[in-house]
């Protein structure tokens, strides 16, 4: 049986409760209502030693308005929308510009900076948020839900759902950063990554997709076979120059059937820990922590540096509302948005 405990923290918005889900082996996940986020994931290495493998902050209040969006649920639309231009049913909605010339992660007051309502339902922690019509200039009142479940075999299951009272767009994901050697162990560039993705989305220099689904073969974007993250990260390649490393979306092979697919397999040769990511989403954004320098103090006072962790964000494609050839992220009142991400931890 999964044990769920709570702990109170003082924040600028008052006392908030964090939730810890622990299985029989002692492996655990801690969740915060700030951004409906993951703040700790403690799992064993090949010798059974437990370590926290999720980047996070010593002070819970630092999760408000942090640049990295560590562990949280960005929204209403995760990732970028070009120039903040959103057209729904022929009407233009100008979103806030908060990332170069573009809108990012739902805007400066997006879902990741909100305190979500929380409840425990059996062995599941459920966060919910009502985003009113006009919130960050998105149309329609959207009610979003994120449900977390932790298993005895160290699988974190995240279920997303949303409904709306007017046509809108929605794109939800988890923005955790992983270092399988331990959150405070330094660079993650020696981690080995494999992606179930033979195509990727080339972008402009402001990281907006061009609309092309390009083959990865023969490029530094090819992770179809296991490869150290740092092997090609300094290659002379536009995408790597634009983002100062990997900050790109890959097309998950087979996503068109809407089923659950393995998107990524991350492993740390030193500890033996592995993380398989499964999803029914069409894309996976891989971000190698290229701008972690200067983020809030980490757990235990640790100072994070660029490339100390990698985010693997399963989601709809960036700028899909402006790219009709991409899978639609539109949601209408007679529909329900439902998406699933599994983080499966193991060892080799």
CA distance 190 to 6: 35
CA gap 154, 262 in Å, rounded? 16
313 is known as an active-site residue: yes
Element (H, E) at 240: helix 238-243
To the nearest 5 percent, what fractions of the chain are helix, strand and coil? 10, 40, 50
Gap between the Cα atoms of 190 and 226, Å rounded: 12
Residues in the chain, total: 348
Instruction: Give the residue from 126, 130, 114 showing the smallest Cα distance to 159.
Output: 126
261 is catalytic: no
Whether residue 35 has a cis bond before it, omega within 30° of 0: no
CA–CA distances in Å: residue 216 to residues 235, 251, 318: 14, 10, 18
Candidates 113, 255, 261, 313; catalytic one: 313
Q: How far apart are CA 243 and CA 63, in angstroms?
A: 23
Query: Which member of 93, 175, 191, 302 is catalytic?
Result: 175
- Round to whole Å and give the CA distance between 330 and 106: 15
3-state secondary structure of 314: strand
Give the whole-angstrom CA distance, residue 73 versus residue 337: 15
Tell me the CA distances in angstroms from 118 to 49, 66, 303, one per residue in order.
31, 21, 30
**Which residues are identified as catalytic?**
175, 313
């Amino acid at each position: 049986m999964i044990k769920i405990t709570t702990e109170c923290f003082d924040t600028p918005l008052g006392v908030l409760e964090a939730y810890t889900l622990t299985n029989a082996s002692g492996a655990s996940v801690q969740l915060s209502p700030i951004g409906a986020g993951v703040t700790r994931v403690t799992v064993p290495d090949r010798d059974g030693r437990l370590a926290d493998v999720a980047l996070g902050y010593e002070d819970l209040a630092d999760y408000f308005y942090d640049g990295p969006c560590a562990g949280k649920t960005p929204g209403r639309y995760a990732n970028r929308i070009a120039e903040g231009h959103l057209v729904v049913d022929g009407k233009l909605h100008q979103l806030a510009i908060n990332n170069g010339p573009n809108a990012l992660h739902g805007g400066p007051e997006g879902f990741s900076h909100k305190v979500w309502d929380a409840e425990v339902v059996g062995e599941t922690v459920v966060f919910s948020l009502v985003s009113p019509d006009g919130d960050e200039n998105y149309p329609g009142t959207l009610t979003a839900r994120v449900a977390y479940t932790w298993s005895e075999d160290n699988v974190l299951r995240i279920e997303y759902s949303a409904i709306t009272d007017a046509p809108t767009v929605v794109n939800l994901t988890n923005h955790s950063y992983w270092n399988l050697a331990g959150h405070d162990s330094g660079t993650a560039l020696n981690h080995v990554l494999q992606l179930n993705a033979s195509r990727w989305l080339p972008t402009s220099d402001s990281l907006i997709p061009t609309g092309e689904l390009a083959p990865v073969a023969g490029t530094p974007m090819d992770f179809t076979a296991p490869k150290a993250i740092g092997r090609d990260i300094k290659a002379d390649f536009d995408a790597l120059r634009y983002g100062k490393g990997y900050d790109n979306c890959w097309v998950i092979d087979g996503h068109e059937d809407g089923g659950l697919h393995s998107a990524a397999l991350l492993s740390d040769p030193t500890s033996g820990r592995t993380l398989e990511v499964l999803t029914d989403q069409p894309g996976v954004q891989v971000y190698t922590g290229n701008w972690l320098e200067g983020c809030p103090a980490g757990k235990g006072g640790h100072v994070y540096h660029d490339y100390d962790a990698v985010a693997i964000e399963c989601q709809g494609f960036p700028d899909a509302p402006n790219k009709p050839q991409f899978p639609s992220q539109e949601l209408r009142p007679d529909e329900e948005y439902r998406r699933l991400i599994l983080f499966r931890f193991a060892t080799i």
